[in-house]
Amino acid sequence: MQEARKQQQLTQQQLAEKVGTTKNYISRIENNASDIRLSTLMRIIREGLGRSLKLSLDI
């Protein structure tokens, strides 16, 4: 997520404002210091970064 944010030249604050959260929360996610719900991650990626999330599971 951090790489995608930087490629779009967005600060953590700008991304947070786009998705309705705080800069602190974005920072914690990027530094693996916070658990995140899948729905929240999808919203950040879709609405904040304009990208899609593709998951693959091997069971």
pLDDT of residue 55: 87
pLDDT of residue 50: 95
pLDDT of residue 47: 95
Asked if residue 57 belongs to a domain, the reply is no
Mean pLDDT comparison of 10-14, 36-40, 54-58, highest-scoring range = 10-14
Asked if residue 20 belongs to a domain, the reply is yes
Dihedral sign for Cα atoms in the order 6, 8, 41, 56: negative
CA–CA dist 12, 48 (Å, integer) = 10
CA–CA dist 53, 48 (Å, integer) = 12
Asked if residue 34 belongs to a domain, the reply is yes
Dihedral sign for Cα atoms in the order 10, 34, 42, 22: negative
Asked if residue 9 belongs to a domain, the reply is yes
pLDDT tens string 29-55: 999 998 999 999 999 999 999 999 888
Residue 16 has pLDDT above 90, yes or no: yes
Residue found under tokens 């959260």: 21
How many independent structural domains does the chain possess? Answer: 1
Asked if residue 39 belongs to a domain, the reply is yes
Asked if residue 59 belongs to a domain, the reply is no
Residue 30 domain boundaries = 2-48
